[in-house]
Amino acid sequence: MSKKINLREQKKLEYRQKILSAAVHEFKERGFLNTSVSNIMQKADLGVGTFYNYFGSKEEVLMNLVKNLFAEVEEKIQAQAKLKISSIELLESCCMHTAEIIDENKFVLPLLSSAAEHSDKPEQSPKNLSPGFKEIFGKIISFGQERGQIRRDIPTDLISEMFHSIYQAAAFSKLKISFKENVRLKVKILLDGIALKNPQA
């Protein structure tokens, strides 16, 4: 009995994963908007109807992917935060870890900024997840501001937004350098722009 259930559950998980993978593949290949549920399920080698046993809509799939991404990012950052380094150094290191994770999932980024436009169901918009992104960096920044390592004449949110936009821009860059290098250099500028050279005692 329990075996039976396990088998089923396992199959379910497997299918769910199959759909997610197919979705990622299609999103990467055709972009979110040009991907239809039918596309995804064809790739997944499953019936269209099956999709709706797992997700309510294409948007929901995306949200899932984004959520996972954020979870991963956050985890990495938590680990970094334990090290005894300056906020500036922490930000730099976090940025690079984040870049690494996003590098593998760049297709979600265009959506963070544009999906809102497409949907009649704003409550499902991935944009709602984006704050999570900024909050993480926001904490580090405001801590740095408190400790006098980061300038205080610019609102924390705004700085946070700049970090965020670096990923966006890098994801779409047509420059020849890699995503990660792109991020690295921009982060360098940004950190130079916000760091206080003579930290207050």
Q: Rule CB under 7 A: which residues touch DNA? A: 4, 7-8, 11-12, 15, 34, 36-39, 46-54, 56-58
Kindly tell me which residue out of 10, 17, 38, 165 binds a copy of itself, with binding defined by CB under 8 A. 165
Q: Give the residue with the Cβ less far from DNA, 9 or 192.
A: 9
Structure-block tokens of residue 181: 């290098």
Please check whether residue 129 is in contact with residue 66, taking contact to mean a CB–CB distance below 8 angstroms: yes
Which residues, 6+ apart, have CB-to-CB distance to 184 below 8 Å?
95, 96, 99
Measured over the CA atoms of residue 168, residue 169, residue 175 and residue 177, the dihedral's sign is negative
Please check whether residue 179 is in contact with residue 171, taking contact to mean a CB–CB distance below 8 angstroms: yes
Structure-block tokens of residue 10: 């396992």
Minimum CB separation from a copy of itself for residue 79, in Å?
A: 27
Kindly tell me which residue out of 8, 152, 172, 178 binds a copy of itself, with binding defined by CB under 8 A. 172
Structure-block tokens of residue 112: 């963070």
CA within 13 Å, CB half, 183: 24
Per partner kind, with CB cut-offs from 5 to 8 A, the member of a copy of itself, DNA, none near residue 154 is a copy of itself
Q: Give the residue with the Cβ less far from a copy of itself, 45 or 120.
A: 120
**188 touches a copy of itself (CB under 8 A):** yes
What DSSP element (H or E) covers 178? none
Structure-block tokens of residue 27: 């999103």
Kindly tell me which residue out of 74, 81, 185, 199 binds a copy of itself, with binding defined by CB under 8 A. 185
Rg of the chain (C-alpha set)? 20
Distance set, CA 194 to CA 90, 112, 146, 158 (Å): 14, 25, 13, 11
Kindly tell me which residue out of 116, 129, 139, 180 binds a copy of itself, with binding defined by CB under 8 A. 116
Per partner kind, with CB cut-offs from 5 to 8 A, the member of a copy of itself, DNA, none near residue 17 is none
**104, amino acid identity:** E
**132 touches a copy of itself (CB under 8 A):** no
Kindly tell me which residue out of 117, 123, 198, 201 binds a copy of itself, with binding defined by CB under 8 A. 117
How many amino acids of this chain bind a copy of itself (CB under 8 A)?
A: 39
**Which residues of this chain interact with a copy of itself, rule CB under 8 A?**
31-34, 110, 113-114, 116-118, 120, 131, 154-155, 157-159, 161-162, 164-166, 168-169, 172-175, 177, 182, 185-186, 188-194
